[in-house]
Structure 1
Amino acid sequence: MHKFPFLKLFATLLLCGFVVKANAEVIAVIVPHNQTIHQIGSSELSLIFWRKKLYWADGKRIQTLNYASNNSIRIQFSLAILKSMPETQADYWNGLYFHGISPPYVVSSQEAMLRFVADSPGGIGYIDACKLDNRVKPIAWISAGRNLLSSAPELNCPE
């Protein structure tokens, strides 16, 4: 009988640790380091990720990137910017596909996101802000409370 409370406590701690680790405290919206855009608002970001805005002001085609629909950073981003869960977006993309508009490319990791955005003129994606490096430029931040910020917040990155 004494084993069950220990197992329950262990499972709870394990689950809590997973949830804390899976969610980014702050998400950085990123573009290639040499991209001319420096800031972006939530309505424009929404248009870009719904693929209703296809070109940057300088004429470059926008290349949007996402993670898989079950990725915790994608879920945070989708709720903050697209106001929906990734699973509910499938019907939207299926409808647009037959009109010649493809959904954003999907990458499998934050490193893949960094590389693809850095190497793709017109690229835009998002990562855990603690993963930022000089290959890309942040143009907006999404707080844990789902607010879009135009300046860098204080980050609590693990060492």
Structure 2
Amino acid sequence: MTIRRRILKFHIAAFSGLLAWAMPALGADIAVIVSRDASSQTLNEGTLRDIYLKKIFLDGTGHKFIPLNLPADAPLREAFSRALFHQGTDQLQDYWNQNYFHGITPPYVLGSQDAVVRFVAQTPGAIGYVASCYVNPSVRQVLSLPLSAEAGVEATALCPPGVGE
């Protein structure tokens, strides 16, 4: 291998490492959070999808899941819907319209990411999502979803100045 090639590989590796380190600090992912005191069961995207579609109601210890959403016009909600369901909020509304008549209601809606963090921290069984910069010691991040480019959300727009610093 030539020296040029080695230098190029080094620069690519260094840049990738720097990018991986910097992205969470910029709020470049969606943090799925539960209470700090919640049971430490594992959570994957399939399970999270079933919790949010209200196909799973209880965790392994018998506590009721309380999934939370942000308002329909919140950019992070669109990003979450695209990352987890590969659909926008409009398509998911059709799902809820159909299931409403079967007695299945959509997740509760809270007005801000701060409200989601506070509610999750104080409510057993609550599960929500916020930009990673909102995660604090009162909650525990159980899953990270990538911020999809198709959601059209700038990572920096999700974390206002002063949040997560």
* TM-score, scaled to structure 1: 0.74
Which of 98, 107, 132 is the equivalent residue of 2:110?
107
Contact 1:66 1:105 (8 Å CA) reproduced: yes
Counterpart for residue 7 of structure 1: none
Residue in structure 1 matching 2:45, options 42, 45, 68: 42
Q: Which runs of 5+ in 2 are unaligned?
A: 1-25, 150-158
Displaced runs of 4 or more, over 6 A: none
1:32 and 1:119 in contact (8 A); partners too:
yes
Question: In structure 1, how many angstroms separate the alpha carbons of the residues matched to 2:95 and 2:27?
Answer: 26
AA matched with 1:129: S
Q: Give matches, 1:1-159, under 5 Å.
A: 24-145=27-148, 159=165
Q: Distance in 2 between matches of 1:115 and 1:61?
A: 18
Q: 1:144 Cα deviation (Å)?
A: 2.5
**Contact 1:130–1:157 (8 Å) recurs in 2:** no
Offset at 1:40?
Answer: 1.1
Structure with greater proportional helix content = 2
Matched residue count: 128
Counterparts in 2 of 1:104 and 1:115: CA distance versus 1, 3 Å:
same
TM-score, normalisation: structure 2: 0.71
Where structure 1 has 5 or more consecutive residues not aligned to the other structure, the ranges are 1-22, 147-155
Percent identity for Structure 1 against Structure 2: 34
Q: Are the aligned partners of 2:41 and 2:60 in contact in 1 as well (CA < 8 Å)?
A: no
